[in-house]
Structure formats: structure tokens, C-alpha cells
């Protein structure tokens, strides 16, 4: 008889790639406290601001970013 974890894993692998990614995101988020998540995002936001201000990273309008993301999922 398979373990509950093996059964859940087998079912999860039947999901679409997008649904598996969302499930993985939810599971990983459940491991951290809300404060840890907020702190990690604060560090990441600061890193990105520094990169943009230094000219090492470019920014795109949100409409372009969403269009590229949707296209990559097709």
C-alpha cells in the first residue's frame, strides 16, 4: 500500500505544469512564517532597486511583462 505522500505525489504529477507550479509555491510558502516571507521580499526588493538604479537591470511596462509571461506559457 503506497504511503500518503506517494499517493499525493502521484496525483500532483497528473496536474498541468502551471497547476504543479502553483501547488509547489503554496507548499513552499506554508513552510515559512509570514514575517520571514515579508523580510525576504524586502531584501529582494532592495536588491532590485539597487540593480535598476545602477543601470544593471532594465524595467518594462507591466503590460509588456504580462504579455511575455502569457506567451511563454503557451
**pLDDT by residue (tens digit) across 5-51?**
999 999 999 999 899 999 998 898 888 777 888 888 899 999 999 99
- Residue 1: the pLDDT is 67
In this structure, the chain runs to a length of 74
What is this structure's pTM? 0.45
15, 23 Cβ separation under 8 angstroms: yes
String of DSSP letters for 46-63: HHHHHHHHTTSS----HH
Amino acid at each position: 500500500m503506497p504511503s500518503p505522500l506517494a499517493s499525493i505525489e502521484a496525483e500532483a504529477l497528473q496536474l498541468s505544469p502551471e497547476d504543479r507550479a502553483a501547488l509547489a509555491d503554496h507548499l513552499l510558502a506554508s513552510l515559512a512564517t509570514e514575517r520571514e516571507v515579508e523580510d525576504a521580499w524586502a531584501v529582494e526588493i532592495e536588491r532590485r532597486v539597487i540593480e535598476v538604479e545602477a543601470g544593471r537591470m532594465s524595467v518594462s511596462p507591466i503590460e509588456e511583462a504580462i504579455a511575455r509571461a502569457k506567451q511563454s506559457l503557451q
